[in-house]
Chains A and B, each alone.
Chain A
Amino acid sequence: MSSSADSISTATTHGARDHARAQAGQRAEFQPTIPAAGALDRPPGVAPADMLWEETVEPGNYTARVLPRGANLRLTDLAGDTCVQLLLFNAAATAERLNLPDTVKIQWQAYLGEGALLLSDMGRVLASVREDTTAGHDLFNAMSNQARNDTRYGSGSVHGTAPNARDRFAVALSKFGLGRVDIGPAANLFKKVIVAADGSFTWHGDESPAGGRLLLRCEMDVLVALTVTPHVLDPRPEYTVTPLGVTAWRGAVTPPDDPVRLSTPERTRAFENTEDWYLS
């Protein structure tokens, strides 16, 4: 990327300083919009002051941040071939985190969709699915690791051409004081996988549309960490994944008469436990 800095000599500290400062103000394809109030794609009806996050995440890369209870988190499959590995933690007590066995077992349902909850291992709701225009997701399969991507793509390192999700998470989470032990199973978003009657997986990862969106509501103050890397069942020989759009804005805490909250007795108690956490 060229900039007005290119013509400035860096032979002296003053020159180097001017050179550094002259680089600002550019726009890269993959970056957050800061301040978020200046979001390029602010959702209709959302005031600039309520914007929390806008970012386009590079294929192979990661992002992470803390969002407040009530925030809306919208993930957009910008070009129709993204794949996201998602981890969630209770930001105030990160030993509490997304638990996929509890998520499927407690809701008696293997597949994530509108009205579903992403449950923590402490019987609380980390986030709820408010809108889903994708083809579907996968809560069973692994995330990529170094060995897998070395074998499959020739290089799986975070500095290489086919970064693996696990090491991306190791870096992302370390910035919040967490480590490799905290990289639990992630939800694989935007790539639909079905479990057949014999227990085998069927790949439907080519069915999600460009512009497909998953809208989550944060039901607690959550640390959101995600990577954008190919699904481990993706049959294509090349490391293939397209950018993710992330948008978040402030919202109201889920009210007692919320239809998702009341949709099943298990979900209602998950919200009750969450509301209990915020009593003190």
Chain B
Amino acid sequence: MSTPSELPTGRIVYDEVVAARAPWSKVVKAGETLRIVDLEGNQAVDCILYRADDPVERYSAADTMTAQNNVYLVTGTELLSNEGNVLMTITGTTVERHDTVGGACSRESNSLRYGHHTRAQHACVENFVHDNARRGMGKRDVVPNINWFMNVPVEADGSLGIVDGISAPGMWVDLRAEIDTLVAISNCPQINNPCNGFNPTPVRLIITAP
């Protein structure tokens, strides 16, 4: 396993590897920084943020895009809630940009995109719903998400789609929590499009405290 260089300053309070295809969630406390490391390259990491003390307030892709007048997530992007508050900030990333328009894969959307034969495959919405259920939340709490390390260009004619990734082994993104934030992740299991290079792989999560 490669050790990411230039870790955020501070002490490491958490350092684990999330298996391919698995869900993960944890509260990142205000001031802490979560680093997500794309260990083997081009692994989409689907992510929803919830305000830890009131999860009705949660990440809003639309508010985030509107506030920065851009669809792409880059260093400096403030990840906003549906009430317009900053949940986390992207304090650094080695990837040019990340996606928040492509949504999470689901069994149901897979059936439209690839055919009814994919209905039994694992999907990010399955991970989110399963993990939410442990916290008294459910499908209604699965909202349009962030796709770390995923590449979704929008062409001049409106054509939009998930294309080959622009990440690589060891690339990372740092997210500083501005308030206590429940971070929910699905390490994407999609095998029908290039978002994971057709091969879901593990990611490493490191939390540092100032």
Point out residues on A near B: beta carbons under 8 Å: 95, 99-102, 104-106, 108-111, 119, 121-124, 140-143, 145-148, 166, 179-185, 195, 197-201, 232-233, 266, 269-270, 272-273
Neighbouring B residues of A146 by C-beta, 8 Å:
83
Name the residue of chain B whose CB is nearest to the CB of A231: B66
- In chain A, what residue has the closest Cβ to B104? A101
* Bound: A197/B71 CA distance, A: 10
Please tell me if B101 contacts chain A, counting CB pairs below 8 Å.
yes
CB atoms of A104 and B84 under 8 A apart: no
A185 touches which one: B61, B69, B110 (CB < 8 A)? B61
Closest to B84 in A: A147
How distant is the Cα of A78 from the Cα of B21 in the complex, in angstroms? 50
Q: A142: which of B60, B140, B142, B143 is its contact (CB, 8 Å)? A: B60
CB atoms of A233 and B139 under 8 A apart: no
Q: Does B63 contact A (CB under 8 A)?
A: yes
- Whether A141 contacts B83 by the Cβ 8 Å rule is no
Q: Is the CB of B102 within 8 A of A181?
A: no
- Contact in complex: A273, B65 (CB < 8 Å): no
Is the CB–CB distance between B109 and A110 below 8 Å?
no
Nearest opposing residue in chain B for A267, CB measure: B112
Nearest A residue to B159 via CB reads A108
Q: In the complex, A263 Cα to B113 Cα: how many Å? A: 14
Cβ-neighbour of B65 out of A95, A99, A119, A140 (below 8 A): A140
Tell whether, in the assembled complex, residue B143 and residue A184 are in contact, meaning their CB atoms are under 8 Å apart: yes
Which residue of the partner chain, among B61, B62, B108, contacts A273 with CB atoms under 8 Å? B108
B210 within 8 A of A: no
B19 within 8 A of A: no
Kindly state the separation between the CA atoms of A273 and B83 in the bound complex, as whole angstroms: 34
Who on chain B is nearest to A147 by CB?
B84
Given known A105-B161, A273-B111, contact A181–B144 (CB-CB < 8 A): no
Query: Can you list the 5 inter-chain pairs with the closest CB atoms, starting with the nearest?
Result: A101-B103, A123-B108, A142-B62, A199-B72, A111-B158
Q: Whole-angstrom distance between the alpha carbons of A231 and B141 in the complex?
A: 25
Q: Which residues of A contact B60 (CB under 8 A)?
A: 142, 185
In the assembly, what is the distance between CA of A142 and CA of B84, in Å? 10
B112 touches A201 (CB 8 A): no
Question: Within 8 Å CB of B56, what residues of A?
Answer: 179-181
- The contact of A105 among B67, B97, B116, B162, by CB within 8 Å, is B162
Q: Counting CB contacts under 8 A, is B75 at the interface?
A: no
Q: Known contacts A105-B109, A201-B69; decide if A185 and B62 are in contact (CB<8 Å).
A: yes
Q: Which residues of B contact A (CB under 8 A)?
A: 56, 60-63, 65-67, 69-72, 82-85, 97, 101-104, 106-113, 115-116, 125, 138-144, 152, 154, 156, 158-162
Asked if A183 and B82 make an inter-chain contact with CB atoms under 8 angstroms apart, the answer reads: yes
| Cross-interface CB contact of B154 among A148, A195, A266, cutoff 8 Å | A195
Beyond A109-B159, A146-B83, A185-B62, whether A273 also contacts B101 by CB under 8 A is: no
* Nearest chain B CB to A148 CB, angstrom units: 6
Residues of B within 8 A of A148 (CB): 84
Q: If the complex has contacts A110-B158, A200-B69, are A104 and B101 also in contact, measured as CB distance less than 8 A?
A: yes
A-side contacts of B139, CB under 8 Å: 95, 121
Q: How far is the CB of A191 from the nearest CB of chain B, in Å?
A: 12
Cβ–Cβ < 8 Å partners of A123 in chain B = 106-112
Q: Are B115 and A269 in contact (CB under 8 A)?
A: yes
A273→B143 contact, CB < 8 A: no
Rounded to whole angstroms, the CA-CA distance of A104 and B89 in the bound complex is 26
The verdict on A121 contacting B108 (CB below 8 Å), with A99-B103, A101-B103, A199-B70 known, is yes
The answer to whether A269 and B156 have CB atoms under 8 Å apart is no
User: How far apart sit A107 and B65, CA to CA, in the bound complex (Å)?
Assistant: 21
Residues on A with beta carbons closer than 8 Å to the beta carbon of B108: 121-124, 273
Set of chain A residues within 8 Å of B141, measured between Cβ atoms: 181
Q: For B112, what are the chain A residues with a Cβ–Cβ distance below 8 Å?
A: 102, 106, 119, 123, 266, 269-270, 273
Please measure, in the bound complex, the distance between the C-alpha atom of A121 and the C-alpha atom of B75, giving whole angstroms.
Answer: 30
Closest to B137 in A: A181
Contact A141 B84 (CB under 8 A): no
Does the CB pair B111–A269 fall under 8 Å?
Answer: yes
B73 to chain A, nearest CB (A): 9
Whether A199 pairs with B71 at a CB distance below 8 angstroms is yes
Complex Cα distance A273/B103, Å?
20
B144 touches which one: A99, A166, A198 (CB < 8 A)? A99
Residues of A within 8 Å of B66, CB to CB, are 140-142, 201, 232-233
